[in-house]
Structure formats: C-alpha cells, structure tokens
Amino acid sequence: MTETAKKIAAKIVGYRVEQPTAATEAAAPPASAAPAAEPAPAAADAGRSPAPQKAMPSRPASDDGKVVRMHEGLERPERLEGTTYKVKTPVSDHAMYVTINDIVLNEGTADERRRPFEIFINSKNLDHYQWIVALTRVMSAVFRKGGDVAFLVDELKAVFDPRGGYWQAGGVYMPSIIAELGCVVGEHLENIGFLGEHSLSLAERRALDAKRQDYEDAQRQEDAFAKSPFPAGAQLCGRCHTTAVVMMDGCLTCLNCGDSKCN
C-alpha cells in the first residue's frame, strides 16, 4: 500500500523535533493508524533556497575563554623584558642591582597587560646573600601566582632595621634596606601601569602648602642666641643674665661678668 503525497498550502514557518519517551511509545497507536508525518520544509518548499541561519554572536574579547590570566601554570617565555634599578645605601659599601622582569599578557589586543614575573637582586656584598635569595624566590612566586601583588610594597616598607634606618638623598627616611626594596618594587609597578600614580587631592595639597609655609616662617625668625659671641651650650648667668656660663677648671664661670661658683 503506497501513501499519497499530501500538499500543504500554508507556508511552514517553524517546526521542532521531539524525541518520544517510553510512556508515549507505549500509548502510541499502531504504525498503520498513525497519521502521515509532516514533510520537511525542504520537501514542501522544493525549489526554494533554505532560509539562512542566524549567525551566533561572537564572544567578546574580554571573555575569560580567550583572555590569558596570570596564574601559576603559565610557562615562562624564552625572553622577557625587564628593568634594572640601582640601590645604593649608606649602610653598605656596595650597591645592589634590582632587576624585575615582566610578562606581557594578551599582546596586541585590547586586554594587553604587563605584569611582573620575576625579580633578581645582585650585589658584591655577600653578607646579605642568603636573605636576598630567599626574598627574591618568594617574591617571584607571588608574582607568578597572579592577582593583586601590590600588597608586597606595603609589607616591605613596614620592615624596620633594629640598628636604625638611614636617610636617602633628598631627605627621605628609610627604616631598612628591605623598605627601600619595597619602594623600588612600588616604583616599578607604577611604571608598568599596574599601580596608579599617587596624586594628592586639593585639600591635601593645601594642607601641605600651609605646613610648608609655617615651617619656612619659623626658619626665618631670628634666634636671640644665634649670634652670641659665647660658646654654644653656655648657660644663663644669674648675675648678668647673659648666656655665657661655661664649665671652666671644674667650676661654672660666666665669661661675661666673671661670676663663678668657686669664688
């Protein structure tokens, strides 16, 4: 028995294919009684070109599937760009040379980022060799782990030398060599755009200018004893009220009026 083709007058605008379940197969009538299946759209619209399918929207460039993030499994490239900083402290005869190598992620795309990858410190002074090796290995591991590594700057700056710090050229106090290394790392992170440059607000700038003006005004005031002809550190004489009393021959003597406790 042959089935006759059924002509469909209306245009088919959409269809779907459903997979039968076990319950529907049990309740379905025999195949002989089943109605004729609807022809596919290609059979009904023979001679017509199929409707073009909608193109799937492309994934954004910032999608996690395409953007390379910093993580521990990222392999080191054969070549890295880096910067070397010279650190000369008054507590050591030899300078230290801090080299920080960077890796460029997503190069040539809108998501291009430059991040620190490893750090090395070289010096002729072998007194600091052990802690230099330990510090650079730990810092390099933190760099390669990814995430926000700016906390290293604050942690290093908070290290104080029990023997006391030192003053840099320009009047900047450094509590330790480690703190100066933290300043170097912070400067590098700013140079590569990892950290925004610190800028004072208008209120902070005005307060700083006011403090500077007060200090300059105080420095311009003449000290009453600045031009004294008597030695520095002289005490006030109770007789002539002149700052001219000094220890002479084991006795306090005024160089202005000659008054002495030994007389």
One DSSP character per residue, 158-186 reads: T---TT--EEPTTS-EES-HHHHHHHHHH
pLDDT digits 0-9 by tens, 221-262: 555 555 667 787 788 887 777 888 888 877 888 888 788 877
Split at pLDDT 50, 70, 90, the class of 107 is confident
Instruction: Give residue 202's pLDDT.
Output: 74
Nearest residue to 256 via CA among 232, 233, 229, 224: 229
Please check whether residue 67 is in contact with residue 111, taking contact to mean a CB–CB distance below 8 angstroms: yes
Q: What is the pLDDT of residues 136-183, one digit of tens each?
A: 999 999 998 888 888 999 999 999 998 888 888 777 888 999 999 999
Residue 50 has pLDDT above 80, yes or no: no
pLDDT attached to residue 251: 83
Q: What is the pLDDT of the chain when averaged over all its residues?
A: 76
pLDDT at 160: 92
State the average pLDDT over residues 180-191.
92
Banded model confidence at residue 57, pLDDT cuts 50, 70, 90? very low
Strand partners, 131: none
Q: What is the pLDDT of residues 32-46, one digit of tens each?
A: 544 444 544 444 444
Alpha-carbon span 102 to 117, nearest angstrom? 5
Residue 129: pLDDT band with limits 50, 70, 90: confident
State the pairing for strand pair 243-248/96-105. Answer: unpaired
pLDDT at 212: 73
Contact at 8 Å (CB) between 263 and 248? no
Answer whether residue 54 shows pLDDT above 50. Answer: no
Residue 113's φ and ψ, nearest 5 degrees, are -135, 145
How confident is the model at residue 138, as a pLDDT? Answer: 94
Residues 201-216 have pLDDT tens digits of 677 677 777 777 777 7
Domain boundaries, the chain: 81-191, 228-263
- pLDDT at residue 8 is higher than 80: no
Of the candidate ranges 1-5, 81-85, 131-135, 143-147, the one whose mean pLDDT is the lowest? 1-5
136, 116 Cβ separation under 8 angstroms:
no
Residue 62 has pLDDT above 60, yes or no: no
